[in-house]
Amino acid sequence: MSELKKHFAVIGNPIHHSLSPQIHAAFAKEAGLLIDYEAVLSPLDQFKQTVQTLITKKLNGANVTLPFKKEAYELANSHSNHAKIAEAVNTIEFKEGEIIGHNTDGIGLVRDLEQNLHVNLNSKKILLIGAGGAAEGVIYSILEKKPTELTLTNRTIEKSNVIQNKMHAHAKSFNVNLNVIEMTKLPHHYFDVIINATSASLNDVNLHIVDQVFHKGSLAYDMMYGKETTFIKQAKSQASQTSDGIGMLVEQAAEAFYIWHHIKPQTKAVIDLLRKN
């Protein structure tokens, strides 16, 4: 490998489906940078060894995906504010011998909503469905935008309560009404933005949320991409605007690219290309 060429990787299990190598190659081409970005399958019980092996091969930075974001958080010596609050890391930076953990997922979601889909979150009513890592990773970034209300709901409501408790002080500091409502007891009125952060879409499972949370002025956003989910079909039946999570994927990658290279890549052409494919 050329000395000039920097080496990056995305580490996950499974990883063969990852679009990150394609996205980073496109950003690098546009920026005129020589990089090598590979998808690395880590055995489930060997995440740390996988990172160490890559470090010996002169790794310059890495993205981390499921199921290793918590382990990456534990591996890092220091953390960005977003990673610290989410207790999860999706971007590793090496600086002066230290491993710095970042989390760009929330920034990616908010940029896609605000810059690409032109939906300002400030003073809006937002419903977030799900209480796994995907949901937890984006809550602080949503709160920062100061919506009027962020309602959390999940099949297992206790998990939403745990997140609410963890985020209570942040919500208060941003003056956001952060509440939890059981999925079967959602109000019969609409939210401005409804975000599906569950993995139910993977299996085409119906979430059984009331139609009334959608509205023709709402945006329904599924963090999943690659197919029209049951959630998106339900939102369309209520005439809501809809989006999958491809823009979030590209925007979180753009933020990681910025962390490593200090260059902000253009994202629109890459989003359009991935959508077309």
| Catalytic positions | 69
For the bound state, the minimum distance from the C-beta of residue 181 to ligand ATR, rounded and expressed in Å, comes to: 14
Instruction: For residue 200, state whether it binds ligand ATR (rule: CB under 6 A).
Output: yes
In terms of CB distance, is 139 or 274 closer to ligand ATR? 139
Nearer to ligand ATR, 130 or 265 (CB): 130
d(CA 151, CA 170): 14
Per rule CB under 6 A, is residue 106 in the interface with ligand ATR? Answer: no
Among 156, 165, 179, 184, binds ligand ATR (CB under 6 A): 156
Q: Which is nearer to ligand ATR, 127 or 200 (CB)?
A: 200
- How far, in Å, CA of 131 to CA of 176, rounded? 18
Does the footprint of ligand ATR cover residue 155 (CB under 6 A)? yes
242 in contact with ligand ATR (CB under 6 A):
no
The two tokens of residue 134 are 């995907």
Q: Using CB under 6 A, count the residues that bind ligand ATR.
A: 15
Beta strands in 30-114 (DSSP E): 35-41, 61-64, 78-79, 91-95, 98-102
Q: Which stretch binds ligand ATR (CB under 6 A): 73-81, 94-102, 200-208, 233-241?
A: 200-208
- The Cα 97–Cα 111 span in angstroms is 31
Choice from 50, 65, 153, 154 touching ligand ATR (CB under 6 A): 154
Give, rounded to a whole angstrom, the gap between the first and last alpha carbons of the chain.
Answer: 30
Residue nearest to ligand ATR (CB): 132
Q: Which of 131, 138, 139, 249 binds ligand ATR (CB under 6 A)?
A: 131
b vs e for 31-63, b when ≥16 Cβ sit within 10 Å of the residue's Cβ?
A: eebebbbbbbebeeeebeebbeebeeeebbbbb
Tell me how far, at minimum, the Cβ of 239 lies from ligand ATR, in Å.
24
**Is 133 a binder of ligand ATR (CB under 6 A)?**
yes
Q: Could you give the C-alpha distances from 214 to 85, 124, 134, 193, 199, in angstroms and in order?
A: 30, 14, 22, 9, 20
Cβ at position 208, least distance to ligand ATR in Å:
8
* Nearest distance, CB of residue 202 and ligand ATR, angstroms: 8
Which tokens in the block code for residue 87?
């207790």
Q: Which residues pair with 152 in a beta bridge?
A: 128, 180
| Residue 101 CB, nearest approach to ligand ATR (Å) | 17
| Gyration radius from the chain CA atoms | 19
CA-CA-CA-CA torsion for 181, 205, 156, 234, nearest 10 degrees? Answer: -10
**26 or 193, CB closer to ligand ATR?**
193
Query: How do strand 91-95 and strand 98-102 relate by DSSP bridges?
Result: antiparallel
Residue number with CB closer to ligand ATR (21 or 132): 132
Q: Which of 51/195 has CB closer to ligand ATR?
A: 195
Are the CB atoms for 102 and 256 separated by under 8 Å?
A: yes
**How does DSSP classify residue 211?**
G
Residue 136 Cβ, how far from ligand ATR at the closest point, in Å? 8
Q: By the criterion CB under 6 A, which residues form the site for ligand ATR? A: 130-135, 154-156, 159, 198-200, 205, 207
